[in-house]
């Protein structure tokens, strides 16, 4: 990949990808879309101060919380799928084949829910489809008396839980859009993925050997972790809506001259009064 849109000319491609006029158009469109991109160049490292500023942006903390909680049920069952299915009496070859349908369905639902989010211009409302899908299935897995006795029914339930609509792409998008500065965006993307990995560590410790083979206690934890996504997603949505309304009220109370002065000397990133969070 070339370093930037204005650095596409190489010895083997002296004309580059764009003409001089097209380069100016690209740069201007980028800066008009996100003025903060003019504050850093793409090879500039983050200082310790920039790192602290990115971490201290509390507006993104709810998204980090979503990252650590949202994927625990799927990660837990995904890690133990082969052991659970082998415990039901299936061979290794059969177990590998039985893992394929949930993977295919996950791929389809990931694309579908992400497309729907962009289509509806809504992230957190659409993300509620994840717990709406997972909670009833986990309730069946935990409290259905035939769970783990009826092999095929158990397999179908587990496969459907593993195929729970994956909102990861939507949350990464929320981090990027709501950071509103290059330095914060770089830090927030890393932090979000760190929290997702922390959630994976938690997920790997849900099932315990003394809880086998039915994992009643473990499935209870998975149920409540999935259920917790309802208040987390709803409260995150309400937080962004409330902040946007408050800022809009203050912005409308200002006259044109005050707005121009603020635009020139106001805050930075997501702290700006004229910035609206995407939710």
Q: At what angle do helices 168-179 and 182-203 cross, to 10 degrees?
A: 150
Per-residue pLDDT band at 28 (split at 50, 70, 90)? confident
In this prediction, residue 25 has a pLDDT band, given cuts at 50, 70 and 90, of: confident
How far does Cα 67 stand from its chain's mean position?
6
Token pair of 122, please?
């809504």
Per-residue pLDDT at 154: 80
For residue 198, name the pLDDT band (cuts at 50, 70, 90): very high
Q: What is the CA radius of gyration of the chain?
A: 23
Assign 241 a pLDDT band (cuts: 50, 70, 90). Answer: very high
Average pLDDT over residues 204-225: 86
Q: Output 7 or 67, whichever has higher pLDDT.
A: 67
CB 232 within 8 A of CB 69: yes
Query: Measured between alpha carbons, how far is 183 from 270 in angstroms, rounded to an integer?
Result: 12
Confidence class for position 40, pLDDT limits 50, 70, 90: low
42 pLDDT exceeds 60?
no
Torsion angles phi and psi, residue 13, rounded to 5: -145, 70
Give the Cβ contact number of residue 273 at 10 Å: 16
What are the start-end ranges of the E strands in 39-147? none
Q: Tell me the β-bridge partners of 13.
A: 10
Task: Give CA separation, 137 vs 63, 72, 154, 163, 209, in Å.
Answer: 24, 14, 10, 11, 23
pLDDT per residue over 44-91, tens digit each? 566 677 677 777 778 889 999 999 999 999 888 887 777 777 776 777
What's the CATH code, domain 57-238?
1.20.1250.20
**What is the arithmetic mean of pLDDT over 270-277?**
77
Tokens of 62: 């709810």
Task: For 137-167, write each residue's pLDDT tens digit.
Answer: 999 988 887 655 667 788 888 889 988 899 9
Instruction: Give the pLDDT score at 237.
Output: 93
């Amino acid at each position: 990949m070339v370093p930037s849109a204005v650095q596409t000319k190489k010895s083997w491609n002296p004309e580059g990808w764009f003409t001089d006029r097209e380069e100016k158009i690209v740069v201007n469109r980028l800066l008009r879309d996100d003025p903060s991109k003019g504050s850093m160049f793409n090879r500039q490292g983050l200082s310790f101060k920039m790192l602290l500023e990115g971490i201290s942006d509390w507006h993104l903390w709810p998204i980090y919380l979503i990252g650590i909680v949202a994927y625990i049920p799927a990660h837990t069952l995904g890690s133990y799928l082969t052991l659970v299915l082998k415990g039901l009496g299936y061979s290794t070859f059969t177990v590998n084949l039985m893992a394929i349908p949930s993977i295919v369905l996950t791929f389809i639902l990931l694309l579908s829910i992400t497309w729907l989010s962009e289509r509806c211009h809504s992230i957190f409302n659409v993300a509620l489809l994840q717990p709406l899908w997972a909670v009833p299935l986990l309730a069946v897995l935990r409290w259905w008396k035939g769970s783990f006795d009826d092999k095929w029914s158990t397999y179908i339930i587990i496969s459907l839980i593993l195929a729970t609509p994956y909102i990861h792409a939507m949350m990464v998008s929320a981090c990027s859009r709501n950071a509103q500065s290059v330095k914060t965006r770089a830090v927030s993307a890393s932090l979000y993925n760190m929290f997702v990995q922390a959630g994976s560590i938690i997920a790997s410790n849900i099932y315990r050997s003394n809880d086998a083979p039915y994992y009643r206690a473990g499935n209870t934890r998975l149920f409540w972790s999935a259920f917790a996504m309802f208040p987390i997603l709803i409260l995150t949505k309400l937080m962004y809506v409330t902040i946007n309304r408050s800022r809009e009220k203050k912005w409308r109370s200002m006259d044109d001259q005050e707005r121009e002065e603020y635009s020139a000397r106001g805050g930075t990133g997501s702290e700006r009064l004229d910035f609206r969070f995407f939710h």
